[in-house]
Amino acid sequence: MMSAVTELGYLGLSVSNLAAWRDYAAGLIGLEAFEEEGDAGRLFLRMDRWHHRIELIEGGGDDLLYLGWRVAGPLELDEMEDKLRKAGLAVERRSSAEAVNRHVLGLIRLMSPGGIPTEIFYGPQVDNHKPFHPGRPMFGRFVTGEQGLGHVVVNEPDVEAAVRFYQLLGLRGSVEYLLSAPGGGQIALTFMKVNDRQHSIAFGVPNSTKQINHVMLEYSELDDLGIAHDQVRARRIPIAMALGKHANDAALSFYSATPSGWLVELGWGGCKAGAQQEYHRRDIFGHEVAQQGFGLDDLRLANEPDKAV
């Protein structure tokens, strides 16, 4: 049995405005934000019983710092390290101090083909004694568990190399959208999965300037998505892609700008990953580009009004 990651467990972000992020993450999205004593310039975001799912580090960049993929335990981590080394990848075994810093028992680290710092870990700290306390009232919860924290769309310019890399980690997937490009030709978007979540990572968005395009977080209750949508509009936060329903994961979602200038996709109602590959030419409804400049400008996911359905 080849070792494989089981889920996207955590991620880290560099942010220039920690206060704005606290307000956006806790007050708008509903994440639980907290600091640890003596840890200035560092904010943890909690979604469930885990110690945290997202770490914010104050500093320049306003981009992704790392992704953390989970394996079951120490044996699986050793097997994964061995497999990656045999594939010729430069893997670092990180120190126990770094594991403590990440609130996990052990981790290795390597780079994806696109330069995404990729950590593989086991044994996250799970605070079962501490109920999740949302940053604003919520009707439900965040969909996590075996599906991990959500999904990310990242910059992997060499898509073929990226597919091989994530396959080594244990993910599967291929192109799920073939979209007409504005200047002619087609844009292919690749989605990869590793558990019941329809996808955990995707790439292929052209002209990316940041390592991260968006992170998607999923609500269990539609009304929580509605509250977030009201809040985004009340605060006049740019909505890069309007409310709509994706053809692949069936999630009702919209994309709003984070204080770091990239996007959070908030969603509800995502379907489970299917066993077979399929691709789509557009979304079911909505998802028109509502504001330019957030890396989604060329994605014609929305129905073009002048064309018949």
In whole angstroms, how close is the CB of 224 to Fe ion at the nearest point? 17
In whole angstroms, how close is the CB of 190 to Fe ion at the nearest point? 13
Single out the segment in contact with Fe ion by CB under 5 A; choices: 123-131, 181-189, 210-218, 283-291.
210-218
In whole angstroms, how close is the CB of 250 to Fe ion at the nearest point? 12
SS3 state at 83: helix
Distance CA 272, CA 145 (A): 13
Single out the segment in contact with Fe ion by CB under 5 A; choices: 23-31, 103-111, 142-150, 258-266.
258-266
Task: Record the tokens describing residue 35, joined without a space.
Answer: 């600091």
Name the nearest CA neighbour of 121 among 102, 136, 139, 101.
Answer: 102
In whole angstroms, how close is the CB of 189 to Fe ion at the nearest point? 10
Residue from the set 138, 265, 270, 301 that interacts with Fe ion by CB under 5 A: 265
Residue from the set 216, 225, 247, 263 that interacts with Fe ion by CB under 5 A: 216
Single out the segment in contact with Fe ion by CB under 5 A; choices: 23-31, 63-71, 189-197, 216-224.
216-224
In whole angstroms, how close is the CB of 214 to Fe ion at the nearest point? 6
Single out the segment in contact with Fe ion by CB under 5 A; choices: 24-32, 60-68, 184-192, 211-219.
211-219
* Closest-approach residue to Fe ion (CB): 216
Distance CA 176, CA 261 (A): 26
Contact set for Fe ion, span 16-75 (CB under 5 A): none
283 binds Fe ion (CB under 5 A): no
In whole angstroms, how close is the CB of 106 to Fe ion at the nearest point? 30
In whole angstroms, how close is the CB of 304 to Fe ion at the nearest point? 21
Our CB check for Fe ion shows the closer of 13 and 84 to be 13
Our CB check for Fe ion shows the closer of 3 and 144 to be 144
Residues that bind Fe ion (CB under 5 A): 216, 265
